[in-house]
Amino acid sequence: MSTFKVVMKYLLAAFYLIAGVNHFVHPQFYLRIMPPYLPSPLFLQYVAGFFEVLLGAMVLIPKYTRLAAWGLIILLIAIFPANIHMAIHHELYPDFSSTFLWIRLPLQLIFIAWAWWFTGEEK
């Protein structure tokens, strides 16, 4: 694996580890952005945080990198409707600019592609 890809793997892991821990440190932030149509928002945001931490750590374990990358892709797809909800109903999220909320949508695709990069066999 190239040095660049190794660095990107560690950055991917760090991003999800930090984001996942943040779900437990600042749960109110995530509850505020949870779409109102989802049941049990506190439980769901803790589940998301748990899987972000778990999958972020697993990315660093060669035996589990591929599985973790697929898990991150599934997680990103699962939360994508919430991001769409935020962009469409930006008036519900006055702390965020409408532009930022719309930019997040293609960024989600970049994160999916980043995780996809690690779904192949390591060389």
Query: Is 123 part of any domain?
Result: no
Residue 89: closest CA among 44, 47, 32 = 32
Query: Is 122 part of any domain?
Result: no
pLDDT tens for the chain, 123 residues long, are: 899 999 999 999 999 999 999 999 999 988 888 888 899 999 999 999 999 999 999 999 999 999 999 999 999 999 998 899 999 999 988 989 999 999 999 999 999 999 999 998 766
DSSP-H helix ranges across 1-123? 3-25, 27-32, 41-58, 65-88, 98-116
- At 103 the three-state DSSP class reads helix
Query: Is 121 part of any domain?
Result: no
Q: What pLDDT sits at residue 123?
A: 60
- Considering the entire predicted model, what is its pTM? 0.90
Query: Is 75 part of any domain?
Result: yes
Domain count, the chain: 1
Query: Is 79 part of any domain?
Result: yes
What one-letter code names the amino acid at 13? A
Give the integer Cα–Cα distance in Å for 71 and 67. Answer: 6
The domain in which residue 34 lies consists of 3-116
Give the integer Cα–Cα distance in Å for 51 and 72. Answer: 8
